[in-house]
Amino acid sequence: MKQSAFQKKRNQNDLKGAATPANKKLHQTQRVSTPPFMAGALAEHACPEYPTAATIPFPIPSGPYPQQAKLMDTMLQSLKLVDDLRQQQCEVDEETKVMNSQSSQRKYQGANIMMLESPTGTGKSLSLACASLAWLKYRESVDLLQMRNRSRDETGEIKKMVDNKNVPEGIDWLDTWKPAHEIQREKDTEARRHECEKRARQTRLALEQELNEIRRDIGHTTMSITDKDVSGLRKSRELAVKKALQEFQSYRFLKSKGPKKYKPANDSRGNGVLEKDNDYVSQHDSIAEDEDYCLEDYVSDHERDVSMGRRKKMKMSTNAKSSYEYSSDEEEHDQQDTPAKAKIISYNEETRYGGVDKRFTKKELLDGGNLDGSGCSQHFRQSITNSQDMPNRSKEQPERVSIGNVEPGSGVRKIVYAARTHSQLSQFVGEIRRTAWGDSIRVITLGSRKLLCGNVNVVGSNRNASEAVITEKCLDMQKGISSSNVDGNGNKKDKNQKSCPLLVKDFIPVLALHMLAHPSDIEDLAVLGEKGHACSYYATRESLEAAQVVVVPYNTLLSKPARDAVGLCLKRSLVIIDEAHNIPEALRSISSSKLTLPVIDGATAQLVSYVSKYSNRLAGRNLFYLGQIRRFLTQAGKFLKSRQRVSNQERLMVTSTELLFMMKLDNLNLYNILQYLQKSKLSQKLHGFNSALIKNKTVKESVNADDPGFISKHVSSMSIVESFFRCLTSTQKEGRIIVEIPNNSSPGEYTSRLSDNSVPSFRYLLLDPSNEFKNVLEDAHAVVLAGGTLRPFAHMATELFGSEQMLVGQAKKAEFEHETAEHQLSHFTISHTLTTFTCDHVVSPRNVLTISVPTGVNGITMDFRHSARYQDRVCDELAKTLIRISKEVPNGMVVFLPSYSYEGFLMNRWKTTGMYEAIKELKRIFREPQSAKDAETTLSSYSTQASSKHGAILFSVIGGKMSEGINFVNEMARCVVVVGLPYPDITDPELKEKMKVLDDLHRNNRDNPMGITGTEYYHNLCMRAVNQSVGRAIRHEKDYAAIVLVDARYSTDTRVWKGLPKWLRSDQRQGAKSFEENLKSLQTFYKNTNT
């Protein structure tokens, strides 16, 4: 295969082998206008060199740690393999002239996966930020260059085809001849590519010029953003938003003579805002006709295929004679896709930018179809995806092209970063600010309404309302309704009080642009919305398509329905998941589906009412499937009520097949029913039908999300049923159905005042999360799994790629290589499918002391197994041991205990025996609160006291709030004590079922075992929790701390000792030492580190 000039240029940069040392001279400046590897991109047709750790401008003058440089190089080498592979596939398509839609859908199966383990405190987040941003900037230049070169090459090829001249010697003219309709099709494709490149380039240039204007107003365009500058930057941004609001208000008042959709008003604080004119809205928000809720005639895939086959035979002769013409439908779609300019009282006035020969509105600057060049709006993309005729429509329509081959309408290529907590997300945004692109990169953080909503009437004065209640009130305001049409005194509410004053659609794009001007965390975005008197929640979604970096919590990334709801597309994006060891549990939580008896009854009532109204107008296939759905709901309700009569408290775990047999529904084809629910959109039809019935009723409802019977008026009961159907169609290996029957309730009764587990229900338990993770792997360009406790890699691979035995085998092989490799700073394996990386800690070995304590002060064995930990002598021996250790430890000392219940038991015991007061005399005692809202206050008080001469001791729980995401830096943790081994409860039926599934899978592949056994899974869960707790200390190169492991098994069990990180273990396995020997080692350690 002949290589293009672009590919030859790329192949000159061979990055295989060890990482190149960082060039320290390059890092003397924190901000550079053009990174070295991008210097060639300024030329008209030059291709930039691929970035490496040596060419990335690092924000620290001394350069990166060797571990950081190795991590960045490993990540970039892996990305280069993927980029080269995709480029080769693209060239194959070009040379074979596969220009139809099937070619555009053909892609490399599965994203490249990188499992990068770097201990906490080694600068992992900064390394990920620098490497990913360097790659993104490189790809942005190359994507535009590729589209331009491909368009020009295509023009030359088409001209040769038309002329049929200059045929190379030895090639028959018949080989180069093409029918006229194919030549015309390729001409049209070339024209679309040219228009795509022009539209994207102009829109991106105009967007940057608009953002630069905002940055100039802020006054922080070229400055280096340090911690001291953050507060000043925030104030400048707030003032800039206020100025934009004033300009917006002045503009609207000047245009007040036109038709008024909005009118000026004052909010509760007396500030001028623009409020929706409810009279105008009410006139144009009429109730939909009945036909809107009536189901269309349903045609199954099999019936459609048969029909299409007949149609093709009938049209073959006609198609053979006619030449291809540019579809007029396509022109209509292009007109629909182009965002309409606001012409009546719109603040999004057209603006002409330098170097751009087109006028753009504020909203057009943020439109994904303009930014990716496709001209395809997100609304049009969703309508095509959801259409029943999607396969047929995709064949009839011309190919949609986009810059970087992203999903048309999704905007620019992105980096999507996900973490578990918002503090971790804010930390990553802070690291982005430190990079060379920190003052110009477009970053947006997605969060919930609870964090972003600025309407006090919705979130409450203290933001103490639940997310479900806030969402309910927000949607009520948007639709001009309220959760109750009467106030607390029984009086009807004023209609003018219903609309939200912050939801001003014309100003939201302006706020979105201000959000994109500088990287912002969730708190910054909320404040900008408050100062601009506009909705931050919807402004973040407005800016999503233009954002280059999207920062999201786990739930938004891992759930495909959640991604679709906010408009986040992962195609060709680099996905980075931090603290990735939490992904399996997050997937289980997201994929869990609960079908309660109130939902079953509600869906049944809606379905019966719907069928009774439309039965004479529905086709036979619709009536057939509606009857099957009703049968399922009826039998499910009877099953729960019958089991409730048999026993007060019952918990049954079965497979989906067993459940269907028990309900006598084994003859139902769940796959056909699920397909019908998805394609007919029955849940949306029922929801709209039911809403129309109750819209004008005066009702007083309770909005209490804590009620187990609570169902939002904005969520269809049938959608919950559809979600449960999806779970029932999963394989038996993937999950189980748990039948939960409440106690203390009479047969057939349930009330909304019962506790969460007191409603009869079916609950789906996900056992194998790998199938749920596929939707991320199939869409993304590459996926980075980062964290400090990813190993063993085989464990993570079994959980996330269990169905891909090749990946599991690679992970197991990589784990063996990492474990048996000689001691070195880092070790990595790179391939186009799976890349692994591990490294040592940046801290010197003399700054870390790891000791195991098998016996206490009096020689009593430290046995903290479930059967022995509650013995008085063990509890008292632990207290005496902690007293002796605390005498040697300066400043702060953190003690991790196995569980909250055991922590409470110890405190009560020690208060009785006087041990509590003895510890308190040496160090002030703090205890981890079980309430999340009190954790920050406790941590702040502990930090202050730990820095004092007296010091402090904090009792925490392994796997609790303080064991992950909290940095006990410097004096906060000069010693970390881990008591016991937190093995999960082996009698838990859900854990036993998970272990059984793994054992069965391992047994079936005995000849070539790839995954892990149930016992290994059980052990890994324990050691990962221990390593997370240990990692709270040692946060930088000069930090120091002692790690004390209090349990005899740390000294006697080889598996336990090898489960600790390599940087914590000695060269030889730790043997059993007396307490006095360990105490002497502790004294020597602090003496040497303090000098």
pLDDT tens, position by position, 706-747: 555 556 677 788 989 999 999 999 887 889 999 988 765 444
Return the pLDDT at 818: 84
The percent of residues above 70 in pLDDT, for the chain, comes to 71
pLDDT digits (tens, 9 = 90+) for 413-434: 999 999 988 888 999 999 999 9
The band of 698, judged by pLDDT with boundaries at 50, 70 and 90, is very low
For the residues 1052-1069, what does the mean pLDDT come to? 81
| CA dihedral over 27, 31, 33, 34, signed as positive or negative | positive
Return the pLDDT at 256: 55
How far apart are the C-alpha atoms of 112 and 135, rounded to whole Å?
Answer: 15
Tally the C-alpha atoms within 13 A of residue 829's C-alpha that lie toward its C-beta.
17
Beta 262-266 vs 272-276: how paired, if at all?
A: antiparallel
DSSP β-bridge partners for residue 263: 275
How far apart are the C-alpha atoms of 638 and 1010, rounded to whole Å?
Answer: 44
Q: Is 305's pLDDT higher than 90? A: no
3-state SS of 853-887? ECECCCCCECCCCCCCCCCHHHHHHHHHHHHHHHH
How far apart are the C-alpha atoms of 1030 and 894, rounded to whole Å?
Answer: 10
pLDDT digits (tens, 9 = 90+) for 129-173: 999 999 999 999 999 888 877 655 555 554 554 454 454 555 555
- Backbone phi, psi, residue 708, to 5°: -65, -25
Choice among 779-783, 951-955, 1063-1067 with the minimum mean pLDDT:
1063-1067
Is the Cβ–Cβ distance between 717 and 606 less than 8 Å? yes
The percent of residues above 90 in pLDDT, for the chain, comes to 42
Contacts with 866 (C-beta within 8 Å, 6 or more apart), sequence order: none
Q: Is 252 left (phi over 0), alpha (psi -120 to 50) or beta?
A: alpha
**Three-class secondary structure of residue 1042 per DSSP:** strand
How far apart are the C-alpha atoms of 93 and 146, rounded to whole Å?
Answer: 14
User: Which pTM value belongs to this model?
Assistant: 0.84
Beta 735-741 vs 761-766: how paired, if at all?
A: antiparallel
